[in-house]
Amino acid sequence: MSNQMSEDPMLCEIKILDEPALEFRYGQPVADPRDGLSLFGPYDADAPSHPGALSYGVVGTGEGIDLFLAWSNAMIHSWTDAPNNRHRLWPPYPGFQAAFACDWRNEPVWKHVLDSHELSDVAYRYDHHERVYSTVNQYLSAFQDLQKLDERVSVMVCVVPDEIYQTCRIKSRVSVEQSTGEAVSKKRRESRKEGQLEFFSNYEPEQYELSLDFRRQIKARTMIHNVPIQIIRESTLRLNDEKRFGLRGLTPLSNRMWNLSSALYYKGSGKPWKLATAREGVCYVGLAFRRADATYNKGGPKTAACAAQMFLDDGDGVVFLGNYGPWYSPEDNQYRLTAQAAHDLLKGALDTYVQLHGKTLTEVFLHSRSDISAEEFEGYRSAASDGLKVVGIRVRPYHDGPRLYRPDKQWPVIRGTLWKHSPTRGYLFGSGFKPRLGTYDGWETPVPLQIDIQHGDADIVDVARDILGLTKLNYNTCNAGDTQPVTVKFSDAVGEILVSNPTVTNRQPTFRFYI
């Protein structure tokens, strides 16, 4: 045991929390979502909102669509391909219908074929802004006719060639020799960002106000069509030498089937599982901050935006964007809101929640990676109605902090180990040895989450137990638990999509549009 903290280790307490249970069909509690779906089916199987069949659309090149249709057909069937018979680590996949009590159709409701040559041409434009903007436009062309369809599309699958993955990310670069189109000097890019028009060239001024990352930009710009999207690289779907899907070093096919099918089911308005341990009337709000990119940041290096992600026990997430302001402190790399900004942020999230759900709340737990100042917390508390308890908690991965090791030195600590340092501080290991799997499914020494109850009254063990439960509300994967709670894990993703695309005003309030 190593300890860099000032507390006396002899006064510390170590507890191993029970693995939180998830609830599935018939009210059955199961720890691993793959077990629960295989044995009982999804939580909402008998609810009026349960999708009897998932309607989807697909957009990509002709080859990309063919690859996905082959995958789509395979997703209907069962798969068991765990190497060395390690089925505890990679459980068999029973097929979409068996897992979700929902039909997955071989053919999409809508498909849109992109010209591969035209897509490749725009994906290699020299100007980074034009490159990403034009590539996203290619995919947006598939969304224009969705409103005319007789059947609603629940989720749109975007199959992306790997060259887009290489050329349309933040740090992507295209040399002059590789590039297509007009070479744009740095001076001209800067003048375009300032809104200056050019006599001989036509360009879209909007492209300089949007993210330089394909994923972030397309997530934001497709929200106007009210259809969540799932992005899949062609190399994930392409057959390898063994005639198996996936050219890259990926996990077994059964595991990828679990992950993609649960993500599609959730984005298609399904509820695969809910927390069985959550308390009625309690919600958890992740505070997300993001500095404004230099591309459109006219407020100085301290300018940032804030957002709130509210999660309930059934996994429904509400997202609300707060105000821009000088929230970032470069001296200590922290984000702090004024009382008024904090009030507006939580009030907006609570009002959005009432519009969508209308349930009565009794407790709100705020999760932030940054310190929550006394002024900021007073703003949050003032946004809550009388009788609504508010607790402010800092939750962050502590990479430079303490580590725990089991006496036999053969295995990492057990997931759920809580190292309690004081009534208001503890270190929770969301990663580690998982008894259900019979192994540790990570690569590095487990890093704890540092949990600090900074404001309000709460028990550190109860707070840690809630946070451990929130590590199991990531529907983008189907595993036994993440290392971080959903309130913290996706704060960057939400911030990137909202803040990196400030001119996009048609923002969806539900979480399925952001993952």
What kind and span of H or E run contains 354?
A: helix 339-356
Taking residues 446-464, what's their average pLDDT? 96
For residue 251, pLDDT over 70 is answered with: yes
Contact present, 253 and 244 (Cβ < 8 Å): yes
**Residue 3: pLDDT band by 50, 70, 90 thresholds?**
very low
- At 13 the three-state DSSP class reads strand
Residue 172 DSSP one-character state: -
CA-CA distance, 362 to 359, in Å (whole number)? 10
The confidence score (pLDDT) of residue 298 equals 53
Mean pLDDT of 16-39: 96
* pLDDT at 45 > cutoff 90: yes
Residue with the larger pLDDT of the pair 65 and 239:
65
- What is the model's pLDDT at position 299? 57
Name 163's Cβ contacts closer than 8 Å, sequence gap at least 6: 120, 123, 124
**102, 96 contact by CB (below 8 A):** yes
- Predicted confidence at residue 194, as pLDDT, reads 61
The b-or-e profile of 443-469 (16+ CB within 10 A means b, else e) is eeebbbbbbbbbbbebebbebbbbbbb
Q: State how far the Cα of 505 lies from the Cα of 170, in Å rounded to an integer.
A: 22
CA distance 382 to 213: 37
* pLDDT per residue as tens digits for the range 460-487: 999 999 999 999 999 989 988 999 999 9
The confidence score (pLDDT) of residue 422 equals: 92
User: What is the model's pLDDT at position 296?
Assistant: 45
pLDDT for the residue numbered 42: 97
The residues that bridge with 57 in the sheet, in sequence order, are 110, 156
The token duo for 210 is: 């949007």
pLDDT at 162: 94
The model's confidence at residue 367, banded by pLDDT at 50, 70 and 90, is very high
Q: Are 285 and 487 in contact (CB under 8 A)?
A: yes
Contacts 24+ apart (CB under 8 A), 8-16: 12/419, 12/420, 12/421, 13/419, 13/420, 14/404, 14/417, 14/418, 14/419, 14/420, 15/417, 15/418, 15/420, 15/461, 16/414, 16/416, 16/417, 16/418
- The most distant pair of C-alpha atoms in the chain lies apart, rounded to whole Å, by 75
Phi, psi angle pair for 86, to nearest 5°:
-85, 65
Instruction: Give the pLDDT confidence of 259-315 residue by residue, as tens digits.
Output: 999 999 999 999 999 999 888 889 999 998 887 654 444 556 788 888 888 887 666
Find the mean pLDDT for residues 397-423: 86
Q: Going by C-beta distance under 8 Å and a sequence separation of 6 or more, which residues neighbour residue 85?
A: none
What local confidence, expressed as pLDDT, does residue 394 receive?
A: 97
Q: State yes or no: pLDDT of 53 exceeds 90.
A: yes
Can you give the pLDDT at residue 380? 96
Is residue 7's pLDDT more than 60? Answer: no
What pLDDT shows up at residue 73?
Answer: 94
- pLDDT the model gives residue 467: 96
Return the number of other C-beta atoms located less than 10 Å from residue 182's C-beta: 12
How far apart are alpha carbons 508 and 347 in whole angstroms?
Answer: 17
Residue 133 to residues 193, 211, 386, 434, 500, Cα–Cα distance (Å): 14, 9, 47, 43, 13
Query: In the prediction, which pLDDT does 295 show?
Result: 44
Higher pLDDT pick, 7 / 506: 506
E-strand spans in 412-509?
417-422, 425-428, 433-434, 439-440, 449-455
Total residues found in the chain within this entry = 515
pLDDT tens readout for residues 142-157:
998 888 888 889 999 9
pLDDT in tens, 384-395: 988 899 999 999
Q: What's the pTM?
A: 0.91
- Inform me whether the pLDDT recorded for 420 exceeds 90: yes
CA 493 – CA 220 distance, rounded (Å):
11
For residue 84, the model assigns a pLDDT of 82
Q: What is the pLDDT confidence band of residue 86, given thresholds at 50, 70 and 90?
A: confident
**Rounded CA separation 324/347 (Å):** 16
Decide if pLDDT at 39 tops 90. Answer: yes
pLDDT at 5 (0 to 100): 45
Amino acid at 303: T
DSSP E strand stretches across 161-247:
229-233
Whole-angstrom distance, CA of residue 214 vs CA of residue 164: 8
Looking at every residue in the chain, the average pLDDT score rounds to 87
pLDDT computed for residue 209 by the predictor: 83
Q: Quick one: pLDDT at residue 127?
A: 87
